[in-house]
Amino acid sequence: MDRRDFRFRIAVLAGDGIGPEVMTACLQVLEVLQERFDGARFDFRPLEAGAAHYHKTGTAFSDESMAECRKADAILFGAVGLPHVRYPDGTEIATHVDLRAELDLYAGLHPIRSYPRLPRVLADKRAAAVDLVLVRELSEGLLYSRGRGSLENDTVARETMVISRDASRRVSEFAFRVAGRRAKSKRRPGRVSCVDQANVLPSMAFFRKIFGEVAAAHPAISAEYAYVDATAAKLVRSPWDFDVLVTENACGSVFSSLAAALAGSLSLAPTAEIGDRHAVFQPAHGSAPDIAGRDIANPVAQILSAALMLDWLADQHGEPRLAHAARILENAVEKAMAVVYPIAFGGQDGTTAIAKAIISHIRKA
């Protein structure tokens, strides 16, 4: 790529509920951010997907949209799901899960941090300094059974957990890379916690074994082991003690939401679902159709997901200007959160006001 010019094709799936609102705010922020860099261009490609699209067409995500996602440099995702729209088997419309399988996205990246000015869920003053990352294996585990389980005579439902060496190894390697970067930036000490139920399930013991093999190859990063139940208790008691956690798919789904809530709100938590060639970036929160169209949704999680996207693109294409842009964006969010008070926290600032505050700080940077 010409170092004087970078141009990236971004698939945009706004989805349902508040998805279109927070996505609009995110794209407005990115449009302003790219003005800071000569030759920077993001080619946004809006695509239809989600529960409303399924209700209208019978398809949650078309083959044409999937093809567009395959061609994109990255995928920005909003939120999907409507309570009254379900597949025939009763499960929710989950387009992002389909993307995981089709694009071999195996590492769920969940950075969790708190903002000192906002109300704390935990009384301890150290809760204002929560800063951890949860890494969730996405390709297998208990959720591998989605669409593969069985219901026998309306009396027994069966699901199967799958843990493989290759999947466990690559997600563990990913977690150690994340910890190494955090240690290098001097934000955290460099420690990875393997969270499992190895005392009960042989499959989890196998996951722990593979993690240990990977840990031995990264002696500069501390490794520790913890059970799921003990970790749940410690997350509530002292989330500030964690650095990087890596765990199985279903456990990761629970812990990522728990940690985000303890840090303040899912509306502050970005996520990335990463593979070797593709990645999806989205907020941790759901579609919240009950507040859609009222300009009260907090767009921070969506906007910080775009910062994760910039970092990933910087790595994929060897373009440090994108990593610099990610820092500008994160700093702008931090400064904005020191002056705005989101409606979600009992304040007066909604989607538009928060986006404007972030844009203002980008222009000052």
Nearest alpha-carbon partner for 25 in 365, 356, 322, 283: 356
Bridge partner list, 349:
342
Predicted pLDDT at 247: 97
Which part of the chain is CATH 3.40.718.10? Answer: 1-108+269-365, 120-263
Nearest alpha-carbon partner for 22 in 362, 350, 363, 357: 350
Inter-CA distances, 301 with 78, 102, 282, 354, Å: 10, 25, 8, 12
Predicted pLDDT at 187: 67
Check whether 96 has a pLDDT greater than 80.
no
| Overall average pLDDT of the 177-188 stretch | 86
Inter-CA distances, 226 with 237, 245, 247, 259, Å: 15, 10, 10, 16
47-94: per-residue pLDDT in tens? 998 888 888 998 888 889 999 999 999 999 999 988 888 888 778 877
Which amino acid makes up residue 349? D
Judge if pTM exceeds 0.85: yes
User: CA-CA distance, 153 to 358, in Å (whole number)?
Assistant: 55
Q: How confident is the model at residue 1 (pLDDT cuts 50, 70, 90)?
A: very low
- Residue 70 neighbours by CB distance under 10 Å: 14
User: CA-CA distance, 77 to 180, in Å (whole number)?
Assistant: 27
| Overall average pLDDT of the 34-58 stretch | 88
User: CA-CA distance, 67 to 214, in Å (whole number)?
Assistant: 35
SS3 119: coil
Within 13 Å of residue 35, how many CA atoms lie on the same side as its CB? 11
137-159: per-residue pLDDT in tens? 999 989 877 778 888 888 998 88
Q: Which residue has the tokens 């060639």?
A: 277
| Overall average pLDDT of the 243-254 stretch | 95
Please say whether the beta carbons of 181 and 188 come within 8 A: no
Please say whether the beta carbons of 120 and 263 come within 8 A: no
Predicted pLDDT at 4: 56
Inter-CA distances, 243 with 52, 176, 238, Å: 38, 11, 12
Within 13 Å of residue 119, how many CA atoms lie on the same side as its CB? 10
Predicted pLDDT at 119: 86
User: What's the chain's average pLDDT?
Assistant: 92
For the ranges 40-44, 186-190, 318-322, 358-362, the one whose mean pLDDT is highest: 358-362
* 207 contacts: CB under 8 Å, gap ≥ 6: 163, 168, 194, 196, 198, 248
186-218: per-residue pLDDT in tens? 666 799 999 999 999 999 999 999 999 999 999
CATH number for the segment(s) 120-263: 3.40.718.10
User: CA-CA distance, 67 to 102, in Å (whole number)?
Assistant: 10
Within 13 Å of residue 175, how many CA atoms lie on the same side as its CB? 35
Predicted pLDDT at 177: 97
Within 13 Å of residue 24, how many CA atoms lie on the same side as its CB? 13
Please say whether the beta carbons of 287 and 53 come within 8 A: no
Please say whether the beta carbons of 339 and 347 come within 8 A: no
Q: How confident is the model at residue 2 (pLDDT cuts 50, 70, 90)?
A: very low
Check whether 287 has a pLDDT greater than 50.
yes
Predicted pLDDT at 39: 72
Comparing 94-108, 226-240, 285-299, the range with the smallest average pLDDT is 94-108
Predicted pLDDT at 189: 78
CATH of 1-108+269-365, one of 3.40.718.10, 2.60.40.10, 3.40.50.150, 1.10.645.10: 3.40.718.10
Predicted pLDDT at 186: 67
